[in-house]
Structure 1
């Protein structure tokens, strides 16, 4: 198993909160979990540090990165600025098969009762959008921001009650793509991200005043 594959597996476990924010990532335990040696695990952790998912301390110990309120606000601000930019290339590049795939993902999310599965489908949905844009550099940046946001997206969808809004937003995005409406897609993406950011900011405010 290559470091890239191991990094993807660890990233999935971070998104699932198998490794929650702040959790220690012990190389020996991860190597045993995935049935590999420590060397590729060490390299995988470096890759994840570059993606902004992991913090490596001076002595080599690693933890899942914890985002501050400022980090999270910046992350969503970047997504809100960048993600609508892919609307036009997504609409231009979307085939009927791609629209069908997105439609099936939205249908699955709307009927899914398990939050972890819903989060994985949500991640797949946004990654599918990025792929349709065929903008490799933009996709790399957006994928990194999406991954970093996942533990907090879980709170937004679950405890803060954002799932119904997210399902509506996803369906609006697919409708816009099918209608070849780049402006509508950009608006739906922007609404999706700003509403999530607002819920999280309100949550931080409540915590600060408690």
Structure 2
């Protein structure tokens, strides 16, 4: 039997399913190693299997899903080496974005960044703080005005979703994160690209340390993982 062509409704539902699954991955509802069964997901999301299949294909293209023998589509687990490499690349890419933003950002864009960070500092709601932090970083990347850098950061960001909940859900990280944003903003306002890049790298490295501590406390970073690069069930 020939597969019927996808309708506009399928495509719209596929986008919706993709967005919802991404959100579940971001919040840790779908953890690494979770099996993505089309029938189960279709029933849970209240749609047919066709858009679910399309959403899973897109997640696989993003590098978030792999097909394992006897399991099928499964949310990837990242190795210890991959976690290290991701944060190294994040520091490089977002550090570059900060350096470019110091040159290219308009005064209006800098005021917008300052406003987002002020909201983040004033908030006591962890969900809002995480949302505002995500907005701050996205706005900063936009001010760099380099579409190729934007695409590279977006692709890396999708892989980072496998790590689950933001490190900003750690209470100790909230205050320091906002302070690091302030250092970055001062460098941007002074049009100091070198200082802006250094401030962003410091910010990302601090988040990296928190992430590794969380994984270590959860028992995921043992000596075996360091020695052979084995899977880290994040």
TM over 0.5: yes
Partner deviation per Cα, 1:44-86 (whole Å, 9 max, x = no partner)? 2222222222333357833332222221111001112222122
- Counterpart-to-counterpart distance in 2, 1:134 and 1:118: 25
The equivalent of 2:148 in structure 1 is 137
Is residue 16–residue 151 contact of structure 1 (8 Å, CA) maintained in 2? no
- Using CA pairs under 8 Å that are at least 6 residues apart, name the structure with larger relative contact order, 1 or 2: 2
- Counterpart-to-counterpart distance in 2, 1:151 and 1:91: 31
TM-superposed CA distance for 1:192, in Å, is 0.7
Is residue 130–residue 169 contact of structure 2 (8 Å, CA) maintained in 1? no
- RMSD over aligned CA atoms reads 2.8
Partner deviation per Cα, 1:82-140 (whole Å, 9 max, x = no partner)? 22122232223322332222222212222333323322222222122222222222212
Partner deviation per Cα, 1:169-189 (whole Å, 9 max, x = no partner)? 122222322222212210111
Q: TM-score, normalised by structure 2?
A: 0.75
**Residue 98 of structure 2, aligned match among 83, 87, 95:** 87
For the pair 1:62 / 2:70, whether they are aligned, the reply is: no
TM-superposed CA distance for 1:203, in Å, is 4.7
Q: Larger radius of gyration, structure 1 or 2?
A: 2
Q: Unaligned regions of 5+ residues in structure 1, if any? A: none
- Counterpart-to-counterpart distance in 2, 1:9 and 1:195: 29
- Counterpart-to-counterpart distance in 2, 1:22 and 1:131: 33
Q: TM-score, normalised by structure 1?
A: 0.82
